[in-house]
Structure 1
Amino acid sequence: MASISVPLHTDKLGFTLVEDTPQPGKRWVVVTPNPESDCNILLARAANERQESFIGNQCGGRVFLFLQTDNFWRDYNAMKAKGVKFCQKPREEEYGTVVVFEDLFGNRWDLYQNKQS
């Protein structure tokens, strides 16, 4: 069974660990990109072979999650220095600055900053 990658979220993405509670047959892990907000991510381990077959491809190769920042270049450079795998070079879009990166399991994320930020 695949493990939950807390260090990716805490060490490389700078998230804060909110909770890590073992439960019968599973582990309850909650992280947040900003401890001052109500935004949390619950990380769940695959419970069977069928679920394991989807690890890294939950969205069919599309971006799975979006991480908005108020300082794109600060966060991009920090993540890059920590070894986060980027799938492309940052680009300017009509809505703002964006780059796609992958977590340890191949799930794709967007790091982006709105032009209004």
Structure 2
Amino acid sequence: MYNNINISHVFVLDQDEAYDFYVNKLGLEVAADMDLGVMRWLTVRVPGDPDRQILLEKPGPPSIDEASAEQIRDLVTKGATGFTFGLTTDDCRKTYEVLKSRGVEFTQEPTEHFYGIDCGGRDPFGNHFRIVQLAPEPIQPPAQS
């Protein structure tokens, strides 16, 4: 029925600041940056990957009324939106060091798990993301006790 997910979104409070963070610090590339009149359509993607984009969406009209947008802004600021997106890498520790040197805030250093090595960070607004270096072989999760 479906082939893949081509776009998802992350709420951001300032699209210029989001552009700087996601492009200049995280290393994603701009897929689209258009003024639609009622909103700015700003999407980023992993360089060279045309199949998946993240809309850096400012909460507000036309999709959300102002009262709801204020509640969303409050939740984003508190970091209460939970996991927003995940990225994969061939070397989690190296990626962590590069991004840390660019000023990316991390909530967890690279940690080994049964599925690979991952670390957690957040954007300037409080959105949480993960970066994972997947294990080379398909592996089974530990048995539940």
TM-score tier, shorter chain, comes to: 0.7 to 0.9
Q: Which residue of 1 aligns with 2:3?
A: none
Instruction: State the match for 1:88 in structure 2.
Output: 108
Kindly report structure 1 stretches of 4+ aligned residues shifted beyond 4 Å: none
Aligned 1:16-95 pairs, distance under 5 A: 16-47=29-60, 48=66, 49-56=70-77, 57=79, 59=81, 62-95=82-115
The CA distance in 1 between the partners of 2:72 and 2:39, in whole Å, is 14
What percentage of aligned pairs have identical amino acids?
Answer: 26
CA contact (8 A) 1:58 1:64 kept: no
SS in 1 for 2:76: coil
* Partner AA of 2:28 in structure 1: F
**Which structure has the larger Rg over C-alpha atoms?**
2
Is contact 2:13–2:125 with CA below 8 Å preserved after alignment? no
Distance 1:91 1:81, change over 3 A: same
User: Which residue does the alignment assign to 2:5?
Assistant: none
Unmatched segments (≥5 aa) in structure 2: 1-11, 61-65, 138-145
Q: How many residues align?
A: 115
Q: Deviations over 1:14-50 (max 9, x none)?
A: 0011111112231100111122441211111010323
TM-score by length of 1: 0.86
**Contact 2:92/2:110 (CA < 8 Å) preserved in 1?**
no
Look up the equivalent residue of 2:40 and give its one-letter code: R
Indicate the residue corresponding to 1:2 in structure 2. Answer: 13
State the AA in 2 paired with 1:30.
T
CA RMSD of aligned residues (A): 1.9
Distance 2:30 2:49 in 1: 13
Any gaps of 5 or more consecutive residues in structure 1?
none
Q: Which amino acid aligns with 1:22?
A: D
